[in-house]
Amino acid sequence: MGRSTLKEFLEAAEHDRFALSFRQVEVLLGEALPPSLRTGEGWKNPQADAVAVLDDMEGAGFVAAEVDPVDGRVVLQRTTRLDDDRLEPASEAPRYDEFGRRRRRHPAFGLLKGFITVEPGYDLTRPLFEDSYWDERMDEKYGA
């Protein structure tokens, strides 16, 4: 029962990377943390007592990215995105960024659409002023 709570918690997680204390993991498991996980070795090299916990984590799409057995903390990193609604066709702009947050455009994006026009034949790459203009301004200000 407890392990399914851990898996459900991880599947519903909003963030792709977050830290949990060993105590928080125990609460989600509903039982004590296996000894190999408490020492830190079992997170990367699964021991027999921790296989079920790590299988549930991997099933939810998470792995242990960092483990600090002294402080009793583990940082979990999402490896895969399980939500089908986050998959878009390649022709559309992505709706989610690399951290899983919904992309939103600024409210002013496109506000002036249609107000600014460029005259046909106008060269936008042409310098605004010729060199002779700047020469005259520099002579006026600093003298020749």
What is the overall mean pLDDT for the chain? 81
**For the segment 46-59, what is each residue's pLDDT rounded down to a tens digit?**
788 888 888 888 88
The model's pTM: 0.53
**For the segment 71-119, what is each residue's pLDDT rounded down to a tens digit?**
889 999 888 755 555 555 555 666 676 777 777 777 788 888 888 888 8
- What are the residue boundaries of the structural domains of the chain, listed by start? 1-115
Residue type, 76: L
Q: Provide φ and ψ at 23, rounded to 5°.
A: -65, -40
56: closest CA among 19, 6, 2? Answer: 6
